[in-house]
């Protein structure tokens, strides 16, 4: 079930802190190259993952500007987005056709597989001043009440740490312009308070985390 969160974020954060404690921390996967791992912790690549990697990169480590990294993302968030793309609640000309024919089992398997991959070492070179302003804005807006410290994400709330710069820029602008509306209002409310400069600064901060 989708979280329906309310502003002010303090309340949402408290509610989430409780649910996060109940669910427990997301399993941290071993290195993606060792598949299947001896301890059986990380799932082997499902057949359709090859298709996904054409855009999202090997193991979900995207090297394309507006294509998000999937590696290390919360499995529940990935699964939710796949369902949203399939149902038309979120749409993108490249991604929507990819979700169209996935079964529920395939979605769950793909989500579990990409969530278990280790997030990529960051090569993005943030502008230090913009990243500093982005962090200040994040602190002021209490982003981490939902996304958790270091933007590591939880449950249906995505990891944004180390996400691709151009992708973060586009999503924040899409939420603000209500081109992306599958967020139960959480991000449209937040992004309304952000100027274009804030969005750019935040993307510098987040991409380098």
Q: 147-160 as b/e, with b when 16 or more CB fall inside 10 Å? A: bbeebbbbbbbbbb
Q: Does 51 bind ligand HEC (CB under 6 A)?
A: yes
For residue 174, CA distances in Å to 35, 180, 187, 200 come to 36, 5, 10, 13
Which of 112, 120, 148, 187 contacts ligand HEC by CB under 6 A?
187
Q: Does 98 bind ligand HEC (CB under 6 A)?
A: yes
Q: Does 126 bind ligand HEC (CB under 6 A)?
A: no
- Count CA atoms within 13 Å of residue 14 on its CB side: 5
Span interacting with ligand HEC, options 5-13, 24-32, 37-45, 119-127, rule CB under 6 A = 5-13
Q: Does 67 bind ligand HEC (CB under 6 A)?
A: yes
Collect all residues with Cβ–Cβ distance below 8 Å to 99 and sequence separation of at least 6. Answer: 82, 83, 85, 86, 107
**Considering the complex, what minimum distance in angstroms separates the CB of residue 57 from ligand HEC?**
10
Window 142 to 161, contacts with ligand HEC (CB under 6 A): 142-143, 145-147, 156-158, 160
Q: Are 115 and 74 in contact (CB under 8 A)?
A: yes
Query: Of the two residues 39 and 100, which places its CB atom closer to ligand HEC in the complex?
Result: 100
Q: Does 177 bind ligand HEC (CB under 6 A)?
A: no
Q: Are 32 and 164 in contact (CB under 8 A)?
A: no
Closest to 66 (Cα-Cα) out of 199, 178, 164, 201: 164
Contacting positions for ligand HEC (CB under 6 A)? 5, 9, 12, 48, 51-52, 54-56, 66-68, 70, 78, 80-82, 92, 94-95, 98, 110, 138, 141-143, 145-147, 156-158, 160, 163, 168, 170-172, 182-183, 186-187, 190, 202
């Amino acid at each position: 079930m989708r979280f329906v969160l309310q502003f002010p974020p303090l309340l949402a954060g408290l509610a989430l802190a409780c649910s996060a404690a109940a669910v427990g921390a997301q399993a941290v996967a071993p290195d993606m190259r060792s598949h299947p791992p001896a301890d059986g912790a990380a799932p082997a690549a499902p057949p359709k993952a090859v298709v996904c990697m054409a855009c999202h990169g090997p193991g979900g480590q995207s090297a394309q500007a507006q294509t998000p990294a999937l590696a290390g993302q919360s499995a529940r968030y990935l699964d939710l987005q796949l369902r949203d793309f399939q149902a038309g609640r979120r749409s993108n000309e490249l991604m929507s056709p990819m979700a169209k024919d996935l079964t529920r089992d395939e979605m769950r398997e793909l989500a579990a597989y990409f969530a278990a991959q280790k997030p990529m070492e960051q090569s993005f070179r943030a502008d230090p001043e913009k990243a500093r302003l982005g962090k200040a804005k994040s602190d002021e807006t209490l982003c981490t009440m939902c996304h958790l410290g270091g933007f590591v994400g939880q449950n249906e709330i995505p990891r944004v740490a180390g996400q691709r710069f151009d992708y973060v820029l586009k999503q924040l602008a899409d939420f603000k312009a209500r081109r992306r509306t599958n967020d139960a209002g959480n991000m449209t409310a937040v992004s309304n308070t952000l100027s274009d400069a804030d969005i750019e600064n935040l993307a510098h901060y987040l991409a380098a985390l």
